Amino acid sequence: AQSVAQPEDQVNVAEGNPLTVKCTYSVSGNPYLFWYVQYPNRGLQFLLKYITGDNLVKGSYGFEAEFNKSQTSFHLKKPSALVSDSALYFCAVTGAGSYQLTFGKGTKLSVIP
């Protein structure tokens, strides 16, 4: 069975500071990893994904994520947070050949002006 853990329910960061939202995963075989963002009363929007190759993945709105196979982690990062980044962030994992995406419970990011 595949699973995702997002250990923090909420992350608070000051505007302009770097941010990290943590994610660890468990899956059989090679992982395919995703980050999505959900703004209030909206659907999820895709941010970035890791399939293979470079461990540092760059995505939308200046976000990036680092895949670490030994630590089974895929943390989301941004060098300088904006107030508009405040939202709910979901990490998700699936395995090769699977259509089934398993989501973490989400981390609420609050960027304080």
Partner 1 sequence: DTAVSQTPKYLVTQMGNDKSIKCEQNLGHDTMYWYKQDSKKFLKIMFSYNNKELIINETVPNRFSPKSPDKAHLNLHINSLELGDSAVYFCASSPPGTGSYNEQFFGPGTRLTVL
* Binding interface with partner 1 (CB under 8 A): 32, 34, 36, 38, 41-46, 49, 51, 88, 90, 94-103, 105-106
CB under 8 A, 24+ apart: contacts of 46-51: 47/76, 47/89, 50/74
- Least Cβ distance, residue 17 to partner 1 (angstroms): 25
Phi and psi, residue 85, nearest 5°:
-80, -10
- Least Cβ distance, residue 86 to partner 1 (angstroms): 15
Q: Which is nearer to partner 1, 15 or 64 (CB)?
A: 64
Cβ–Cβ < 8 Å for 110, 54 = no
The conformation of residue 16, written as its DSSP 8-state character, comes to T
Q: Which is nearer to partner 1, 15 or 36 (CB)?
A: 36
- Least Cβ distance, residue 11 to partner 1 (angstroms): 15
